[in-house]
Copies of this chain bind each other. A is one copy, B any other.
Amino acid sequence: MTDLEKLLAIEEIRQLRPKYFRVIDAKEFDQLEELFTPDAWFDSQDAVKDPIKGQYPGFPIAPISRGREAVVQGIIDGLPPALQSCHMGHTGEIELLSDTTAKGIIPFSDRLLLPGVIATAGYGYYYDEYEKLDGKWRIKSATLKRKRVIFEDELGNGVAL
C-alpha cells in the first residue's frame, strides 16, 4: 500500500465504529449487516460485567456470537425496544496489518437505561479486527472489554449492585 492508500484505509476504518454505535442506538438494525464480514465474530461476554463488581445479578452472560447472522442477532437481542442506549466512541488506535487487514482499539463509554430493569454508565474498549472485503472495510472480529460499570437508578444516581 502507498502512504495515501494507508490513510484512506484508516479514515474508512475510523468511521466504522461511529456508524455502528449510531445504528445500534437508533435500532436501525438493517444497517448492521454490511458492517461485518460474513465470518465475523463478537465476544460480548464483558458487556454487562464490571471488572471489579462482577456480573450484574440476574443478567445472563452475553454471548460469543460466531458468523455475521449470529452477530447481528446477538446485538438485536441485547438491545430490546425499551432500552435507551447512548454509545460514544472515543479517539482510538488503528493499525494496518496488510492491504486488507487491520486492527483497532476503540475506547468507548455508554449510558444505558432500561426502565424498571437496569441503568448503567459504562467504560471500556472494543478490540477490533477489520478486513477489506468486496471493496469495503468491515469488522471481522470484536472483543468488548469493560473497564468499569456504574449501576444507576432511572434518574442517573449510583446504586449498589
Contacts and interface: CB of A to CB of B under 8 A. Distances in A.
Oligomer copy total = 3
16 contacts: A4-B7, A15-B94, A17-B91, A18-B105, A21-B107, A52-B84, A84-B148, A86-B147, A88-B88, A89-B107, A91-B91, A111-B123, A152-B158, A155-B160, A156-B157, A157-B158
A106 B22 CA distance: 10
Contact of A8 (B7, B52, B106): B7
A89 B151 CA distance: 23
B147 A156 contact: no
Interface string A122-161: 0101000000000000000000000110111101111110
A84, A91, A158 pick with most chain B CB within 10 angstroms: A91
B93 A15 contact: yes
Interface in A75-128: 84, 86, 88-94, 105-107, 109, 111, 113, 121, 123, 125
Interface residues of A, number: 46
B148 A113 contact: yes
Interface of A: 3-4, 7-8, 10-11, 14-15, 17-19, 21-22, 25, 51-52, 84, 86, 88-94, 105-107, 109, 111, 113, 121, 123, 125, 147-148, 150-153, 155-160
